[in-house]
Amino acid sequence: MTERTLHLPVAAQPSVESLVDLARLGERHGYERAWLPETWGRDAVTVLTSIARETDEIGIGSSILPIYSRSPALLGQTAATLQEVSDGRLRLGLGPSGPAVIEGWHGVDFDRPLRRTRETVEIVRAVLSGETVSYDGECFSLAGFRLRCGPPETPVPIDVAGMGPKSVELAGRFADGWHATVFTPDGLEDRLEDLARGVDLGGRDLEDVRVTLSVTACALADGERARELARQHLAFYVGAMGTYYRESLARQGYEPEANEIAAAWASGEPETATDLITDDLLDDLGAAGTPDRAREELATFESIDGVDRVAIGFPRGAETDEIGATLEALAPDAD
């Protein structure tokens, strides 16, 4: 059965406590895990620590921590510490993010993202083993240190985010899971083939690699308001967040639409870009509308063979009460 998890809002929230409150609400309503992204707002580690301290059962996870803003060794230390404070409830999500964030915000060259992702995963695993780390790679070389504290009693699964064929293949070959976002059902199935190829190349078992699909969702009594919020969110990602989402959408059969949305946004016309998210495209990428409609659309994503968990994400323009209403309407205990 597909797990239903919670992807806490990427947009700024009133406080850390408001994010903790959403995780608590998710725990009460039966969500399996609360994922938290890290972009250019609050750092995810502090917030995840707060959530771990204020909840009892819900899993916690990063989706994602960028691999350019922390060294691989620090990521390993962080994972070990979060696993300790959460009593074994952590799942670590890593990924390169994109040039817009890495170069524009962190001021770091977005260099060799696939190789850097692979080496980061390997080093984090070595750190979490508790053994002395010796690694000589193309991006990183380190030796002579080990965790000063004991390694986690419960191993930390490491997931990798990716949108293109090679990045998804890498997840299948080296990671414990793949995080997918802004995918149509047909587009996701194409990438699942890349994941399986990576699993084969790594001599692994496909059952050991978990797939998490983040779905933009909004379920409100005012169904048109819900759909407009989801449109705005998707237009922002395709138009404003660099080239990766646009290229991914183009690969999924929406090349003209992806290029038009990006062009409108680049021209300073976000409303035009939003209008270019047609009803068909919105239905193919998200679950938005009245609660009944959103639940029906969410079921389409959950029925995809190969998807292990769906993460309910929220439009960046949604108000706190709209996030809460969607969380409750789409909760596992609401089915």
Give CA separation, 222 vs 209, 260, 308, in Å: 38, 28, 30
How far apart (Å, rounded) are the C-alpha atoms in residues 198 and 179? 15
How far apart (Å, rounded) are the C-alpha atoms in residues 139 and 197? 25
pLDDT score, position 335:
78
**Rg of the chain's alpha carbons, rounded to an integer?**
19
pLDDT score, position 10:
85
How far apart (Å, rounded) are the C-alpha atoms in residues 48 and 161? 18
Give CA separation, 195 vs 15, 58, 92, 166, 304, in Å: 37, 27, 18, 9, 14
How far apart (Å, rounded) are the C-alpha atoms in residues 199 and 193? 10
pLDDT score, position 268:
96
> 288 by DSSP, 3-state: which?
strand
Task: Walk me through the domains of the chain, giving residue ranges and CATH numbers.
Answer: 3-220+301-334 (3.20.20.30)
pLDDT beneath 50, residues of the chain: none
156 φ/ψ angles, rounded to the nearest 5 degrees: -95, 115
